[in-house]
Amino acid sequence: MIVFDLIGQTPLVLLESFSDERVQIYAKLEQFNPGGSVKDRLGKYLIEKAIKDGRLKKGGTIVEASAGNTGTGIGLAIAANRYKVKCVIFAPKGFAEEKNFSMKALGADVRRTQKSEGMIGAQGEAKTYAKKYNALYMNQFGSEDNPNAYTHTLAQSLTEKLNHIDYFVAGVGSGGTFTGVAQHLKDYQVKNYIVEPEGSVLNGGPSHAHDTEGIGSEKWPSFLNKKLVDGIFTMKDQDAFNNVKLLANKEGFLVGSSSGAALQGALELKKQVQQGVIVTIFPDGSDRYMSKQIFNYKESNDYE
Ligand code: PMP
């Protein structure tokens, strides 16, 4: 086996301290991917698909905007390394620096964009770069390849491991993970729920910055079919960070804030349902957010 083959080999665990006879909560621990997040799956899929379709050749260049989840940048950098293509990532300032260091170490060319311009600004710069230098824009926010990356790997692994699933809940950034998994689980009569932080607009609330990294949308993702969504939970950043601490204390497991948010969605669901099996995705670990005081969270109100 080579390191690249580890992508997708992640465990599914019962969250014992949050489950009882009535409701069981399972989490897929995506930090066990070699790049440390669920986005390794995306990087591998996007680059392999582009090579297969003839859009990308050895020595070519890919470019992407990646922020709350510079996980995407890390995933792309790993796959670009493997297939000998150049990887350029536009990342807004203001997110955890650890991810930028990792992308650079993996060989990516990281360009910082204005925090105030958000992801839309970073996408604009990535598109301009693609035109100017004849690079392939990966377009995770607009391409159906994004959800497809999860349907055949992540989603299938859930139905293979568990005999029965009643509910699925996940955070939405680009919406790829949720859409790809929900698409598959609908065939198994699973009800699918989104969890988002306040400041994300999916539930109709106003758009503003938030502290839960990796999830939250400035607009409804183009490939996310509303029919796949059975409900949306909007939660406070504080709840996500409290859950990160609870997971460390009770389960002995260190996750990022979007996993804390995912747990919050599962706990809201648990309150509402009589019984059943809830599955969620924990996208990454705590280690890449230490510089942002993940275990000592205080609301920043830095909504610039
Ligand atoms: N958690 C983290 C840490 C992420 O970086 C992302 C991606 N932005 C997500 C969750 C959400 O994934 P998706 O983009 O597939 O919605």
Kindly report the three-state secondary structure assignment for every residue of 63-131.
EEECCCCHHHHHHHHHHHHHCCCEEEEEEECCCCHHHHHHHHHCCCEEEEECHHHHHHHHHHHHHHHHH
Asked if residue 69 has its Cβ within 6 Å of ligand 1, the reply is yes
Q: Which of 281, 78, 287, 292 is nearest to 173 (CA)?
A: 281
Confidence class for position 304, pLDDT limits 50, 70, 90: very low
**Torsion sign across C-alpha atoms 194, 197, 199, 205:** positive
Q: Are 194 and 233 in contact (CB under 8 A)?
A: yes
Percent with pLDDT over 90 in the chain: 84
Q: What is the pLDDT of residues 195-242, one digit of tens each?
A: 999 999 999 999 998 999 889 998 999 999 999 999 999 999 999 999
CA-257 nearest atom, ligand 1 = 3
One-letter amino acid of 229: V
CA of 294 to the centre of ligand 1 (A): 17
Whether 259 and 283 have beta carbons less than 8 Å apart is answered as: yes
256 Cβ below 6 A of ligand 1 = yes
pLDDT tens track for 109-163: 999 999 888 888 999 999 999 999 999 999 998 999 999 999 989 999 999 999 9
Say what the pLDDT of residue 303 is.
40
Q: Does ligand 1 have an atom closer than 6 angstroms to the CB of 174? A: yes
Q: Does the global pTM surpass 0.75?
A: yes
Is 39 in the active site? Answer: yes
Q: Is 294 in the pocket of ligand 1 (CB under 6 A)?
A: no
Minimum CA distance residue for ligand 1 atom 5: 69
Q: What average pLDDT score do residues 56-85 get?
A: 89
**What backbone torsions phi and psi does residue 70 show, to the nearest 5 degrees?**
-70, 0
Per-residue confidence (pLDDT) for residue 203, from 0 to 100: 95
Q: What mean pLDDT is predicted for residues 270-290?
A: 95
Q: Which atom of ligand 1 is nearest to the CA of 180?
A: 15
3-state secondary structure string across the chain: CCHHHHCCCCCEEECHHHCCCCEEEEEEEHHHCCCCECHHHHHHHHHHHHHHCCCCCCCCEEEEECCCCHHHHHHHHHHHHHCCCEEEEEEECCCCHHHHHHHHHCCCEEEEECHHHHHHHHHHHHHHHHHHHCCEECCCCCCCHHHHHHHHHHHHHHHHHCCCCCEEEEECCCCHHHHHHHHHHHCCCCEEEEEEEECECCCCCCCCCCCCCCCCCCCCCCCCCHHHCCEEEEECHHHHHHHHHHHHHHHCCCECHHHHHHHHHHHHHHHHCCCEEEEEEECEEHHHHHHHCHHHCCCCCCCC
Q: Give the pLDDT score at 69.
A: 52
Average pLDDT over the chain reads 94
Burial class (CB in 10 A: 0-12, 13-18, 19+), 51: middle
